[in-house]
A = this chain, B = another copy of it.
């Protein structure tokens, strides 16, 4: 089997320089070049692959039992002629609070700009890409699925093809279930300041830790507030647990299911809208996907929707389906 090439680029981001969390502005970004890239002067479509919360692109190269890395998966799919040769780009939008949701936030940084402006340009300038939206896809899992949804809706001029595996959507069901755990965690770890400082070192990392981290990070992304401690508002009162409706409504402005009409033209323009989720998803994301596609259907927008009998974790095998769908969507006009 022919093997593609992986180049790990070290990219100094201008938009991340001086980011509010003090995270590095120099990032390592793996680029997968398909077999044959170096032997030809052909141009290739590009797929941006976004990792989930607490992930970054280099993790897609991690070795795991009984699993392929993303490049190994791509090599196989190409060898089996399931997928056409494409370039894969694996951004690093990790932060000290676990992630960025691939959006701009005054509390976290300009990760949306980093991906849609800097990385897209960098790749187009340094690799033989087909540099238009009909040959540029975005796909991801979990928070990366969210990133795919939100970037494709907000940047249809950049991404013409989109796929989301178990992406965060319908915040009502996927985030609120963490709030009770976050309330317990904030108490257990001694308040927001202590938790904040302890993120890299708190042990053990139990369920309350995860709920707290997730809630903090989503708040930093969705409800930033330069005047608040750590630069964001929590969506609830830390003592009574009472939902702050005004903060929650700011979160909802970032909920994909709420954004369909706002971005209806973008959605209509996409050459692929692919969503899936597991029937046992621990964050109930199958429901968000159903709501999303139900609303697309009501508006006459085509989509691919799949469900599978598994949970939220260890489902990288689902990339077989999305990469094929992306390849099909890109190449059907090219035969």
Q: Point out residues on A near B: beta carbons under 8 Å.
A: 54-56, 58-59, 61-66, 94, 98, 170, 172-173, 176-177, 179-180, 183, 199-200, 203-205, 239-243, 278, 280, 284, 287-288, 290-291, 294, 309-311, 314
Contacts and interface: CB of A to CB of B under 8 A. Distances in A.
A64 B62 CA distance: 9
* Assembly stoichiometry (copies): 4
Given A63-B56, A177-B177, A241 B170 contact: yes
Contacts of A183: 284, 287
Given A287-B240, A291-B241, A205 B314 contact: yes
A63 B205 CA distance: 18
Contacts of A65: 54-56, 94, 98
B170 A290 contact: no
A199 B170 CA distance: 30
A61 B204 CA distance: 23
Nearest to A308: B203
A239 to B, nearest CB: 7
A310 to B, nearest CB: 5
A62 B173 CA distance: 32
B55 A59 contact: no
Given A240-B290, A290-B240, A291-B241, A199 B66 contact: yes
